[in-house]
Amino acid sequence: MKKICFYLLAPFLFTGCDSKDEIPSKNQTLNNPTQTYIINGDIVYEAEITDGSKPKEPIFIYDIPEKTVNNKSTNKSSDGTFIFDFSYGIAPNTNSGCTVDIYSNSSGTYYPNRGVYGYNPYPYNEATNEHLIRGYGKPHHNYYYNCLILQASNKELKRTDEKGTTRSIDDLKASAMSIEYPFSKNKTYEITIRTTFYDNRYLTEKTHSSAFPILHIQLKDDGIITLPNLRETREDACEGTSLNDIGRYSGIGLYSNDNYTRTYSPNTIAATTKDISFYFSPMDNKNALLISLHPAGRGANTGVIPKNNYTMVLPLIKITEKPFDPSINFEIKTNEGGGGRR
């Protein structure tokens, strides 16, 4: 990997932008000020200052992997594989309802990027209007990583109540995307995701995150990311602050089914690109794939809030239809008990 770090020195050019504003101050932690870092133009990281010094101007860091060129494909191959290639970029304006700020270290300004997936769906195939994509927490194309990215982070926040009692809480932020795709019952699907996890804390503070993020893969009835019982709560899909509550599971109560949810967490600090495969054998027709990235939260036993901040790059998703294999399913528990793997 070729890594280049700039500290307010190198020129940075943007075209096709319709407005700009000064970079706002985002140093708003309760106990200590924070130093703002901008990774690869649009990934904002706030590092807590503990030595009594004052924040400086935003520090720009560029972590640039070797780019690979893929040909965009939206066709099924002869073996029943459908490929979603996200290394080509996103439309300059998806009308998704969300924007991402692209920062310039040369002018001290930022420009809104509207090529973001949000709560308004946008088709993967613009010509046919097929495979609508929605986003939560601003999944978008990062120019330097040259593909779609999702982000997840957590840190400790201290809050004081009316009685003057101070307590620590998780500051959870996550992101997700859904793709409308027909998953037929009594078929088995291999879903392969090509991805790399980048530790933003290490890129900025040279200290590794204290826990790894969790990736959830789900088959859903529709592409709306929030759960059916929470769709009228006006959650802000752009911010991604409530995703751990509304998008992490395939459902709650009557909507819960472990056969439609798989999870993965990286186990190495190295930023290694790998293909991760998940297998599903749906017993009912499903109409969308949900990919959500979640930060590690407070430990159940220790009560410690792990500081972790990751970017997951997502250049490629492959969906392959196979003959039905019911052995990968679990028997769903009922009120009468029972359960286990079939």
User: What is the pLDDT, as a whole number, of residue 7?
Assistant: 40
Q: pTM of the full predicted structure?
A: 0.83
Q: What percentage of the chain has pLDDT greater than the value 90?
A: 52
Pairing assessment for the beta strands 81-85 and 109-113 based on DSSP bridges: unpaired
Question: Higher-confidence residue: 242 or 16?
Answer: 242
- Integer angstrom CA distances of residue 207 from 47, 78, 185, 307: 11, 46, 46, 10
Both tokens assigned to 333? 């528990």
Tokens (6 digits) for 304: 């410690």
Q: Is 339 helix (H, G, I), strand (E, B) or coil?
A: coil
User: DSSP readout, 222-259?
Assistant: SS--S-GGGTTS---TTT-TTHHHHTSSS-SGGG--GG
Element at 205 (helix H, strand E): helix 200-205
Q: What is the rounded distance in angstroms from the CA atom of residue 277 to the CA atom of residue 259? A: 15
- Please say whether the beta carbons of 277 and 190 come within 8 A: yes
pLDDT tens readout for residues 157-183: 888 877 888 888 888 899 999 999 999
Model pLDDT for residues 221-249, shown as the tens digit of each residue: 999 887 555 555 556 778 877 665 444 44
pLDDT score of 113: 85
What is the CB-side half-sphere exposure of residue 331 using CA atoms within 13 A?
Answer: 10
Predicted confidence (pLDDT) at residue 127 exceeds the cutoff of 80: yes
Which among 104, 63, 307 has a CA at the least distance from the CA of 203?
63
